[in-house]
A and B are shown apart, each in its own frame.
Chain A
């Protein structure tokens, strides 16, 4: 007899979209079985979230999205509101644990199968019996109390000591807390505590129209604004059942590649600086600034915010702009090549970054890593390669990978991706098809679900949303940082405290995109 979970998976229906999405509803018993099955076939967990559906379906609806060889598998289950308990997936996909703790914080649905019932995104601001995604959440009497009594895992020995860091860090970066347990200089344990940047984004989306939603989507994580805006637009265009003009897709890809280059340039400079080589910071910052100024001049925004809209893009390139971008790309290629050679030969830098912050390919596979950090540990996932949508299906993207999994490998992947993005930019500028760049969507009475899915510079950005009567009913933007943050806790083990900034920078994960 075939495995019952296999049978239910064949009942999944494919969405009528350009993206390969299979979706189905499961009962509680099949929920972990189906997940086990996806895991056994090499799938990864993308996102897990909950939705208030008591008025429509007399329960809470729990969603999970996975990435498998065939595409996205989306499954959902109804949870009885009286008990508000459902089976968990943390034993199958380690990345599910924080998502399930968040599920309780925001919707009040507890998952079984784990002893870790500590809050994740919730601090002490709203009462423990109140849940922001429920319709009856009361917004009066909210406090600003700090989060003093979070139960960090205590040190097991009197010989170790603890170093608390954050939420405010020494540099100009986002807020989060790191708790180190160290023996001398060596890190024995790192525990992360987040939620400081929690802005209530999911609830804020509720009731917004398409345009207001696009503005907010572009500000979930400012460094990935193009990837978020594009995935949001994909989801909206699915719901509207609209085809966007071909030229639009090419211009969107150009924005995405420029966002990737800008962030990689900034990261390479900052990694070198954290290793004591201030020269790299100045050089790469200068290259990045030139790129940002071209963005302002030809696209209309330094970080390309609000450039990608549902239905199209908010700019167009003239022949003059295309020629200017072309020659700027050539200059950047030469400059980056020279710097890459200098960094590769610099003994002092190599001493700091080689064999530092290692995630082995086996651990990376177990943790389900992707994006830059995953590819540096041998996890060959890149949506532009495996599931290319227009124009990537005509560009044959070459995936950058390494297997060492250390800081040096994450730098190497970034260098490779900059040159590949420059090649893609060149091809896009040459082959850019003619046509309109914007075709307004008719979403006045739109209803239904859509998903979006874009390979951002950090990793894949996933967007799910449900429309009702032309407004957003609920949505879930998912940053790759959800899956990648736990890997940082592992990467720093046995390294010294002074190397933490360097390791952290080599991941450069999002706090805002994670804290929602």
Chain B
């Protein structure tokens, strides 16, 4: 126990402070989203790159929970659905089920080039070339994969914030 505590203290606080934001008056996001989002992520056939970055986002370098956001296991608790991958045909039914299980108001974010437009898998017989072919997308975060900072900024935007200055 002593050694664990020593390592915790040694690590201390890492990473940068999360970006400073203010309420965006032009945002149409419900005020209940402000600094409080539960996020359900669905991998709709990604290469696993976007999942690596989403997991990194929950790490100590990024203030995900400081910003009021957390990943949730159940779509019933989710305000935001994040989707990665080009949406394989084999995942369409499961993705729609997940979306239908979410309460309203809800938002959908397409994460990564594949989810935005199909990415390198665009045009394959087995994919839908992006989330928009299946569900209404509110925000696209491009990148291959988008880094945790871009993901955090995207979540902040959906929660109704804008960067200060």
Chain A residues near B (Cβ < 8 Å): 123, 125-126, 132, 137, 139, 142-147, 167-168, 170-175, 195-201, 203-204, 215-216, 219-223, 225, 266, 279, 282-283, 285-286, 288-289, 292, 296, 302-303, 305, 338-339, 341-342, 345, 510-512, 515
Known A221-B48, A512-B47: A125·B8 in contact at CB below 8 Å = no
Known A146-B93, A175-B91: A204·B44 in contact at CB below 8 Å = no
Say which residue of B7, B47, B61, B89 sits within 8 Å of A338 (CB atoms): B7
For B43, the chain A residues whose CB sits under 8 A away are 168, 172-175, 197
Instruction: Tell me the minimal C-beta distance from A3 to chain B in angstroms.
Output: 43
- Assign chain B's interface to a size class: 35 or more
Complex Cα–Cα for A279 and B47 (A): 28
Complex Cα–Cα for A157 and B73 (A): 31
Complex Cα–Cα for A51 and B50 (A): 31
For B134, the chain A residues whose CB sits under 8 A away are 144
Whether the Cβ atoms of A222 and B45 lie closer than 8 Å is: no
User: Is B42's beta carbon under 8 Å from chain A?
Assistant: yes
Whether the Cβ atoms of A196 and B88 lie closer than 8 Å is: yes
User: Is B60's beta carbon under 8 Å from chain A?
Assistant: yes
14 sample A-B contacts, Cβ–Cβ < 8 Å, listed by A number? A144-B93, A147-B90, A168-B43, A196-B90, A196-B91, A197-B43, A200-B127, A204-B123, A215-B120, A219-B119, A282-B8, A282-B11, A303-B52, A342-B7
Total A-B contacts with CB atoms under 8 angstroms apart: 165
User: Is B59's beta carbon under 8 Å from chain A?
Assistant: yes
Q: Which of A125, A221, A338, A512 has the most CB of B within 10 A?
A: A512
For A219, the chain B residues whose CB sits under 8 A away are 47, 49, 119-121, 144
Known A219-B47, A283-B7, A303-B145: A144·B128 in contact at CB below 8 Å = yes
Whether the Cβ atoms of A144 and B92 lie closer than 8 Å is: yes
For A216, the chain B residues whose CB sits under 8 A away are 120
A-B pairs, 3 with minimum CB distance:
A222-B49, A146-B93, A200-B126
Whether the Cβ atoms of A222 and B91 lie closer than 8 Å is: no
Complex Cα–Cα for A201 and B71 (A): 30
Whether the Cβ atoms of B41 and A172 lie closer than 8 Å is: yes
Main secondary structure of the interface of A (DSSP, over half): loop
Instruction: Tell me the minimal C-beta distance from A283 to chain B in angstroms.
Output: 6
For A145, the chain B residues whose CB sits under 8 A away are 93
User: Is B85's beta carbon under 8 Å from chain A?
Assistant: yes
CB 8 Å contact bits of B1-26 with A (1 = contact, 0 = none): 00110011001001100000000000
Complex Cα–Cα for A292 and B60 (A): 14
Instruction: Tell me the minimal C-beta distance from B117 to chain A in angstroms.
Output: 14
Whether the Cβ atoms of B46 and A512 lie closer than 8 Å is: yes
Say which residue of B7, B42, B53, B56 sits within 8 Å of A339 (CB atoms): B7
User: Is B94's beta carbon under 8 Å from chain A?
Assistant: yes
Say which residue of A123, A172, A305, A345 sits within 8 Å of B144 (CB atoms): A305
The residue of chain B having its C-beta at the shortest distance from the C-beta of A285 within the complex is: B59
Whether the Cβ atoms of A223 and B48 lie closer than 8 Å is: yes
For B94, the chain A residues whose CB sits under 8 A away are 146, 167-168, 175, 196
For B49, the chain A residues whose CB sits under 8 A away are 219, 222-223, 225, 303, 305
Whether the Cβ atoms of A126 and B8 lie closer than 8 Å is: no
Known A170-B73, A283-B7, A342-B4: A197·B56 in contact at CB below 8 Å = no
The residue of chain A having its C-beta at the shortest distance from the C-beta of B92 within the complex is: A144
Instruction: Tell me the minimal C-beta distance from A253 to chain B in angstroms.
Output: 22
